[in-house]
Amino acid sequence: MPNNRITERRYRAVSSQTFTVDGTVHGVVTIANTINFKVKQKVILTASGQSNIELQIQQVLSDTQFVVGPIGSKIQDVHDISAYTTAASAAVFLNEQQRPVIPEQEITRIIYEEEPTLAHRNVLVDWLGNYYTIDNPLPVQLSDGSIEIGTVNAELEVQLSHIDDYPDVGDVHDSVRVGDGTDLLEINADGSINVHWLPGNVNPIIYTNSGSFTNTNETIVATYTSTSLNEKIAVLLGDAETFGIWRIYRGASINPSNLAAVTRTSPTSRNTEIKFTEPEILSNIGDKVTVSFQAERYRSAFLGGSASTFVRLEGYVS
């Protein structure tokens, strides 16, 4: 992060920075960014109902916090600024001022790295003095151009977008091809893709049923009976003429002790989808699962008649 607030001999003024957290009794100031604030600078704190107070920065704790104390005091001395709160629009600024003079011998000591290094430090650090490491990586931004990488083991994270001007204006959407080296996956005009089930240990199960309900009581709208051994139900798709609660039970009846899954449709949508974390297994031929729907609102238009539901169960045999 660039810092252009320092000249050869003076610190340039920094405009008022609003507190993001109330000041503390230990002199901790919290703002959006401390990039232009340095130890020993004289800063001025303001707040509604409080006198402006000039203090000295004792420590910069992070990129959002520093500690203040009396001017000319020791580094461990702090000043109570708990009266400077966000509710009082507390803020901090500094006027242009002379940089402190540091003896040359102290500068040499600061950059000297102890044993076993025994050298003047010339490694890269960030603006807070922290070494660049795996947990504190050197920020790099790539512009137009290309990079050649040799044979290395690396993880590359790529963000793709299917729309233009995102995340930045002028960006063009990405295009990714999926194929087997000969044929490419094609998207149909309606956005769907064609899928071919191949022979093998997995055979699809697709069961559909239309049902109805006449009130807000829980109503059975579909019962599926297995026709093979080891059937697995993985997905429920439900559609009703109003929103409500879909439930799936093991067996042929509504029994809370046999509840396998439940979900509530959004008030803005009548459709629902349940994808089982673990498929519901129907081990034997003739095993059943029951689907119920309970409307949370029965519209007056249905009075004297019934409202329809549609159920689709998807699974496989293994």
How many residues appear in the chain? 318
The domain locations on the chain are: 10-98, 203-317
- Rg of the Cα trace of the chain? 34
Predicted model pTM: 0.43
pLDDT in tens, 87-138: 999 999 999 999 888 888 888 887 888 888 777 777 778 878 787 888 888 8
pLDDT tens by residue, 229-247: 888 888 888 888 777 888 8
**pLDDT value at residue 195:** 64
- Statement: residue 301 has pLDDT above 50: no
pLDDT of residue 200 exceeding 50: no
- pLDDT (0 to 100) of residue 15: 94
CA–CA distance from 230 to each of 65, 87, 223, 233, 254 (Å)? Answer: 61, 65, 17, 10, 23
> What CATH number does domain 203-317 carry, 3.30.70.100, 2.60.120.860, 2.60.120.230, 3.90.950.20?
2.60.120.230
Residue 231 bridge partners (DSSP): 282, 317
Strand order in the sheet with 203-213: 203-213, 307-317, 231-240, 271-282
**Domain 10-98 adopts which CATH fold?**
Elongation Factor Tu (Ef-tu); domain 3 (2.40.30)
The pLDDT of residue 311 is above 80: yes
Q: What is the pLDDT of residue 199?
A: 45
pLDDT per position as a tens digit, 217-231 = 888 988 999 888 888
pLDDT band at 154 (very low <50, low <70, confident <90, very high): low
- Tokens describing residue 295: 């409307």
- Please name the residue that has the structure tokens 């000591």: 109
**Higher per-residue pLDDT: 156 or 316:** 316
Contact 306, 240 (CB under 8 A): no
* pLDDT value at residue 70: 96
What's the pLDDT band for 276 if we cut at 50, 70, 90?
confident
Q: What is the pLDDT at residue 50?
A: 96
Q: For residue 160, what are the CA distances in angstroms to 62, 148, 164, 188? A: 33, 21, 11, 21
Residue with tokens 């008649």: 305
Among the residue ranges 51-65, 108-122, 278-292, the one predicted with the least confidence is: 108-122
pLDDT digits (tens, 9 = 90+) for 168-188: 788 888 777 777 777 777 788
**Between 304 and 159, residue with greater pLDDT:** 159
Q: How confident is the model at residue 272 (pLDDT cuts 50, 70, 90)?
A: confident
At 255 the pLDDT is: 92
Give yes or no for residue 299 having a pLDDT over 60.
no
What integer pLDDT is reported at residue 2 of this predicted model? 47
pLDDT at 210 over 70: yes
Share of residues in the chain with pLDDT > 90 (%): 30
* Residue 199, token pair as written in the block: 């022979």
- pLDDT for residue 80 is more than 80: yes
- What's the token pair of residue 305? 């008649």
264-288 average pLDDT score:
78
Report the distance separating Cα 199 and Cα 202, nearest Å.
Answer: 7
Across the chain, mean pLDDT equals 82
Place of tokens 């009581």: 217
Q: Is the dihedral of CA 101, 107, 109, 113 positive or negative?
A: positive
Is a pLDDT exceeding 80 seen at residue 191?
no
Q: What is the pLDDT of residue 87?
A: 96
pLDDT at 196 over 60: no
- pLDDT score of 213 more than 60: yes
